[in-house]
Amino acid sequence: MKITKDLYQSNLVLLTDFYQLTMAYAYWKAGKGEQEAVFNLFFRKHPFQGGFSLAAGLDYVIDYCKNFRFSGTDLDYLAQMKNQDGSPVFEVGFLDYLKNLKFSCDIDAVEEGTVVFPNAPLIRVRGPLIQCQLLETPLLNIINFQTLIATKAARINVAANGAPVLEFGLRRAQGIDGALAASRAAYIGGCTSTSNVMAGKLFGIPVSGTHAHSWIMSFETELEAFEAYAEAFPEKCVFLVDTYDTIQGIKNAIKVGKILREKGKEMVGIRIDSGDLAYFSIQARQMLDEAGFPEAKIVASNDLDEQIITSLKTQEAAIDVWGVGTKLVTAYDQPALGAVYKLSAIKDEKGKWVPKVKVSQQSMKINIPGLHNVKRYYSKDKAVADMIYLEEQEVNPRGVVIIDPIDPTRRKRLMPAFYSEEVLLKPIFKEGKLIYTIPSLEKIRERAAHQLEFLDKTHKRLVNPHLYPVGLEENLHHLRMELVLKSQNFENEKNEQE
């Protein structure tokens, strides 16, 4: 069966903030619309107070850019916008410019399923200033959410420690698109299946689910409900046992399990959705084993997340499969990643790249200037450090020093000759043409699993994780500091004193 991947096959160019269009108009008026620029999309700190994040959403970005154009109805809508004095917000000439606009940017990006860290670019956009600007909001919308959910899923799967995690947050997700994007991102992050049938159709994610309490309540007795369900689905019986009395529910599941066995079938397991999950799972395991069902799985749900799963494991809960919904697909404890999109360089009239920096009293909000990339170093199958470097400058193979972009006292010396390395930003679009071979969702999921294996377990701790080294190559660090000082007129003040 062909899997439909292009969720955004229609033009969504107006899915943006209004100020992106007003800036685009002002660029056009100032004659700067075609000036070449470079923007970087990155985040400043990990979500959930964690030690890693997992990149997701690039497939959606590709679909969006492939369909980047202004339709007749888009232009009609913009044409009817009025200023307070009744004049049009946008001139006809600008609307004609948009009508003929064709996507022509270069996009380089970290592949989906890659472990990523603060301040390093996830996406780099290079092209005409207007186009780069118009991409800001949609790219942030896509990457912020899917990276957040993939990271949450990865954390939950780290806590589950190899046990299957089922995602079933559709009914609590943030709307239709939020639900679909969350199911996809959760699968990348390691979940084994989803309850979302549409996500199954669109993305090829395995779907799972049994029955709800309403099924039990629609019958006179719980036992009768289990028997009817076993009649309908003899190959995949997982009985929800906590509708009335959990212990009695387990007993009824065992009775029906024995009936199934007489027919040559096996009960898959039971699910507990409320109450003391540690206590009831331990009781259920003992009862199932004593009744001759040691292979029957115990599935637990009920507002689970990585912290609760960790606690239940500490209590030696006998849970084989984890069902996680609301707190996964809504990123319950942190509703936004907070990624930003900043101009880092612009080409002047002589065709020379001029690095740009945004200065702030908060060091974490000073962006990284220039046309830069990220290189990851590996040693003995473990990632040891990421270096952010200027592409036009060669890296000394005899040794480099990387400097933390927030705290310059934190430094690490790397000897590239002793490491294997990977450049993380891969070419996706060249002059508006897609040149990247999009991997299957399964391949993306496999990459995520391998990336997490490359990461030392100390960085994956849920509480107080060890800080993974990410730093600026020395030349880039010095350039950044020079631009910051120059912008604050420190050099002029020094000259005046002299």
How far apart CA 123 and CA 138 sit, in angstroms, is 12
Q: What is the pLDDT of residue 4?
A: 47
Q: What is the pLDDT of residue 398?
A: 79
| Element (DSSP H or E) covering residue 226 | helix 222-232
Q: What is the pLDDT of residue 486?
A: 87
> Closest Cα partner for 342 from 150, 489, 480, 149?
480
Q: What is the pLDDT of residue 498?
A: 52
Q: Output the average pLDDT for the chain.
A: 94
Q: What is the pLDDT of residue 392?
A: 86
Return the exposure string of 153-192: e unless at least 16 CB atoms fall within 10 Å of the residue's CB, then b: bbbbbbbbeebbbbbbbbebbeeeebbbbbbbbbbbbbbb
How far apart CA 302 and CA 325 sit, in angstroms, is 8
The string of pLDDT tens digits covering residues 49-63 is 999 999 999 999 999
Q: Which residues contact 211 (CB under 8 A, 6 or more apart)?
A: 229, 240
pTM: 0.95
Name the DSSP letter for residue 83: -
343 SS3 class: strand
Q: Strand 269-272 and strand 238-240: pairing?
A: parallel
- Please, are residues 65 and 389 in contact by the beta-carbon 8 Å criterion? no
- Please, are residues 363 and 44 in contact by the beta-carbon 8 Å criterion? no
The phi and psi torsions of 369 (rounded to 5 degrees) equal -85, 165
Q: Which residues contact 273 (CB under 8 A, 6 or more apart)?
A: 213, 240, 242, 300, 301, 302
Q: Which portions of the chain are predicted below pLDDT 70?
A: 1-9, 490-498
Q: What is the pLDDT of residue 491?
A: 47
Q: Strand 297-300 and strand 269-272: pairing?
A: parallel
